[in-house]
A and B are shown apart, each in its own frame.
Chain A
């Protein structure tokens, strides 16, 4: 078996050991002695962490290392594993929570190791294992609770299971829980079976239940019918009582109404008739007053209107003025006025026409004289008047040719003169005056335009034009051509040609003018003469027109007076019957006619209004004809007031009569003469008694109705249940359910039985097996303790009913449970057991690990302390033992036993 031994720690960086190196561990039994708070526990913990790995969490007092400056616990760990040197940088990083971070790193012999490899070399050592088995802490050894920690250890070691494997005790506990669960299941199944049985029992009763329900249903149906019958009877009875009660009340009402009627006055039929017609009478009376007012107003209006038109009202009576009549009057008067106007106008027109005729005749005479035309020649004018314009054109060309001849002749003369100068004979040529044709044309146009305006103006303008043209003519002298003889001949030919042409035109003019050709004598005056001739024609036409006008005007002037007389006669025939004097026939007749029309209408309206008054009066008198004498001297308004009173009284009486009739009908309707009514009345003569009976009947009816409703509801539920029962085959389903439960029960019972058996057997066997197989540990512990305290006795370990280990000391006093052993004795006991486990564990791992004891003997008395030190000393032959203590006596005793002492 290999052995791990600590040889030293160097360069510590935590707690009070900062910078410290502690050698001298290289011994089987080492005692580290120091005072309290000297850092023993911290150093012990460091060694535990270094070998087994860190196990404390922050909450488990890791804070003891807090004085390390950077939160890192460090130290160089030196040791040996048999022949291999261990050189390990043991570094642990403290954390706020959880286990410190394990940063161990180093070598074992030639092999580099980290925490995992290091643990592997120590038989897969875990921090929990090392701490549980090899770390002996004084407080733990004295703690009663330590026994719990042994439970798991005993199970692991005694029953041969590996660390971390399922403990048989755990399996037993699983069986226990399974058994409890199976019993719960069984209990549940039993409950379900009871319920199924109950349901089956219930369902088994279905045929009886159906029969019972059917019987109940029939009974309910009968009850419902009976209840209905009773309710009906009560309802009939109640109706009778209500009828009697109502009839009773009606009788009383009838009597009251009759008394009321008797107290009212009675009116004769004529008064009642008048009262019945009151509305009409009042309306007529109202209308009569209004009509009278309207008639008066119409009369006033008529007087004014009649006065306005200047006629007598009497003459207007009965007159009408319809549209046609009005039109006829207007037309007639208009004809008179028009005829008068015509008389005047025709006389004036005759005067005008005569004046025009005289003027035209004078103009003709003047022109004739100017032109030298006598009356006979005037007749010629009529035949040539239409060709004067043509003649005028020919005159123009005649003038032109004549002028050409003059010019040619002048030229010829000039030629001749030139010749003469040259010695050549030149015939002389006479020049002729000529008119500017443009001027002539303008003058003609002006004259013609004036002729359109007035024939006299045209004549005057024509004369002016003729004068102007005459005065404005000029002499043109044709230059004489002065050539050779050929030229002379040419010019002579030209003169002849022009003369010939002029002569031709002259001939045509003559032909056109016929007997009046004398008018035209030479080209220079020809134009003016022709113009004068044209004026003459125009004046003759004017004179003829004026003559016509005179004739026409004369005819009108002769006819107008006759027409006036006829119109006046016609108008008179229309006006006279209406009493209208002819004086109104003038230009203002239309205005007068309006007044007249108003007068006619007013007079007629007045008549109508008066007629209406008369009619209403007659109606009014007719309405009260039977009682008219009663109102002698009364105005219609007073009569109406009187009749209003009567009407109210008649109405009141009639209502009373109607009420009496109504009450009579009610009494009759209540059949108050029936025998059953008499019976009721005989028994319950007062209304109060009847009311009480009705209330009682009401209660009975309500009771029967409620009862029937309840019965119907119950019957409905019952029928539904019946239907459900008839429709459902419940028994088979329930039996099936029960069968399934039974089957499950069989299984559950078998399971419970099997689990109970398994649990009991396993529990017993475990107990026995533990007892029979705990010798190696317990015996070792006993041996260890006996070696140092022979009188102490031996250790017996058993289990209580919970499976927890029970440690007993079997000594001179017999078997003592741990709870009755002294603290020192118990600490020795636990030390022995712990060391026995260490031996067992080393055997399993094939590695002997150091046992770190941190003041484990605090609870030991003097003898026990010495015994314990002896025990540790003995064990140090197999395990290195490092004992931390503050006790000098312990230190010294250990030293006396060969322990190496390190003071800190």
Chain B
């Protein structure tokens, strides 16, 4: 059974692939990371060429902003040219970050690039290397706040294998703006065999009645925010010669990887031993990684008698971070700890304390009775346990 492949990527955010590099990375490191992430589209092109895909789908937010960065434009253009030279077609949709209203001059785009227009669906048939005809259809945002559901535009498509390209928020993901909102049911009901979606930065692959709907996630993690951490890259989609589409395969393209790492200090009774625990945890992360530079948000958690960890001042936390950073070079290589936080509390049995008629017990019970965000409650609890717990 011969298969042909295409590459599905989205949310490249070229020009501004990073959102945050923490609060303690020096300029040299920033420059290094920026230089690396500037190669991320090059990596996508490398994957496309290596995988010998027949076409590439870019499902919106190729640029980070409506107005692009000149350098990013140039790198993007060079990548498109390489794909053109490799005979790989490119289908491009614009999302909320780079709506169609402005783009790089069309005349500059190589002939292999198809840009989906706004408001109306454009479809084009590609004959794959295995002879399968695949219809690639998509639509771009005509404005940043695209609030219309665009899925219905795909309802009348016909063909054996249809790839729908769309920048959309499926199911109203609260982490992202609810642009071009759609539902799983709508996707499932459509004739599209593979929904090449963009907008949500967390990768997800989901089956439909006719095939799959998938977010490849963004091409490059942008910060230590949870949704930006972990492997980032593209999906390689294989089309069998009968036109059916296999479950997409993830290929990491990111130039650096962001990770969140919590290190427990429950068993640590000396501040000097914190580094050991951190180094061990970092080593585990690195060993699981792909060899990319890893940028870590480190949070020390747990219960401790160490005041330095329970109630650090900004200055003492900065010193602690510096001490930790002194040793992590050997473990992280080109990576770095970009942020250090401590949310440790005194050694208090909160369950038992809640049942006591102490001030802290009253406080905990009072907190339990307040309706608020869990994260806020947890943080307030830590604050109060730190304030009262040590003096019980």
Contacts and interface: CB of A to CB of B under 8 A. Distances in A.
B312 to A, nearest CB: 12
Contact of A736 (B18, B71, B382, B384): B18
A288 B384 CA distance: 135
Contact of B72 (A729, A751, A754): A729
B20 A736 contact: yes
Nearest to A727: B70
B359 A168 contact: yes
Interface in B341-390: 359, 362-363, 366-367, 370, 372-373, 375-377, 379-380, 382-384, 387-388
A206 to B, nearest CB: 7
A731 B20 contact: no
B359 A735 contact: no
A757 B380 contact: yes
Given A729-B72, A762-B387, A769 B362 contact: yes
A740 B380 CA distance: 24
Indicate the size class of the contact surface on chain B. 35 or more
Given A731-B69, A758-B380, A765 B19 contact: no
Contact of B23 (A161, A175, A731, A744): A744
Given A171-B388, A739-B18, A761-B367, A755 B70 contact: no
Contact of B383 (A742, A758, A766, A769): A758
Contact of B16 (A168, A736, A743, A764): A736
Contacts of A769: 359, 362
A165 interface: yes
A651 interface: no
Contacts of B372: 753, 757
A732 B34 contact: yes
Contact of A757 (B68, B367, B388): B367
A904 interface: no
B218 interface: no
Nearest to A204: B67
A753 B383 CA distance: 11
A156 B90 CA distance: 75
B64 interface: yes
Given A740-B23, A743-B19, A757-B372, A206 B379 contact: no
Contacts of A178: 383
B261 interface: no
Given A735-B19, A744-B23, A765-B359, A757 B67 contact: no
A743 B387 contact: no
Interface in A753-807: 753-755, 757-758, 761-762, 764-766, 768-769
B376 A753 contact: yes
Contacts of A765: 359, 362-363, 366
A650 B67 CA distance: 91
A159 interface: yes
B174 to A, nearest CB: 14
B19 A739 contact: yes
A761 B366 contact: yes
Contacts of B363: 761-762, 765
B70 A739 contact: no
A208 B363 CA distance: 58
A726 interface: yes
B118 interface: no
A207 interface: yes
B362 A206 contact: no
A739 B223 contact: yes
Contacts of B376: 750, 753-754, 757
Given A168-B388, A744-B23, A761-B370, A729 B383 contact: no
A751 B379 contact: yes
Contacts of A207: 67-68, 70
B22 A753 contact: no
B362 A768 contact: yes
Given A166-B391, A754-B376, A761-B380, A736 B366 contact: no
Contacts of A766: 359
B387 A171 contact: yes
Contacts of B384: 758, 761-762
Interface in A520-571: none
B19 A742 contact: yes
Nearest to A203: B67
B391 A204 contact: no
Interface string B21-45: 1110000001000100000000000
Contacts of B379: 750-751, 753-754
Contacts of B382: 754
Contacts of A751: 379
Contacts of A160: 359
A259 interface: no
Contacts of B30: 736
Contact of A735 (B23, B65, B225, B388): B65
A714 B33 CA distance: 38
A638 interface: no
B20 A742 contact: yes
A735 B63 CA distance: 12
Contact of A732 (B15, B67, B391): B15
Given A159-B359, A736-B16, A762-B363, A729 B70 contact: yes
B19 A732 contact: no
A755 B363 CA distance: 14
B24 to A, nearest CB: 11
A205 interface: yes
Nearest to B339: A743
Contacts of B20: 736, 739-740, 742-743
B69 A729 contact: yes
A755 B16 contact: no
Contacts of B199: none
Contact of A175 (B19, B387, B391): B387
B66 interface: yes
A64 interface: no
A225 B380 CA distance: 70
A766 to B, nearest CB: 7
A735 B71 CA distance: 15
A732 B377 CA distance: 35
A243 B373 CA distance: 92
A840 B151 CA distance: 77
Given A171-B388, A732-B72, A739-B18, A754 B383 contact: yes
A208 B64 CA distance: 17
A168 B388 CA distance: 7
A758 B386 CA distance: 11
A732 B18 contact: yes
A739 B21 CA distance: 8
A237 B275 CA distance: 85
B387 A731 contact: no
Interface string B52-93: 000000000000111111111000000000000000000000
Nearest to A207: B67
A180 interface: no
Interface in A703-753: 726, 729, 731-732, 735-736, 738-740, 742-744, 750-751, 753
A207 B376 CA distance: 43
A607 B65 CA distance: 122
A174 interface: yes
Given A729-B71, A757-B370, A736 B19 contact: yes
B222 interface: yes
27 contacts: A168-B388, A168-B391, A171-B388, A175-B387, A206-B67, A207-B68, A729-B70, A729-B71, A729-B72, A732-B17, A735-B15, A736-B16, A736-B30, A736-B34, A738-B19, A739-B18, A740-B20, A750-B379, A753-B376, A754-B379, A754-B380, A758-B383, A762-B363, A764-B366, A765-B363, A766-B359, A769-B362
Given A729-B71, A732-B16, A736-B34, 13 more contacts: A168-B388, A204-B65, A207-B67, A207-B70, A208-B67, A736-B18, A740-B22, A740-B23, A743-B22, A743-B224, A753-B376, A754-B383, A765-B366
Closest 8 CB pairs of A and B: A739-B19, A754-B379, A735-B16, A739-B20, A757-B380, A758-B380, A740-B20, A754-B380
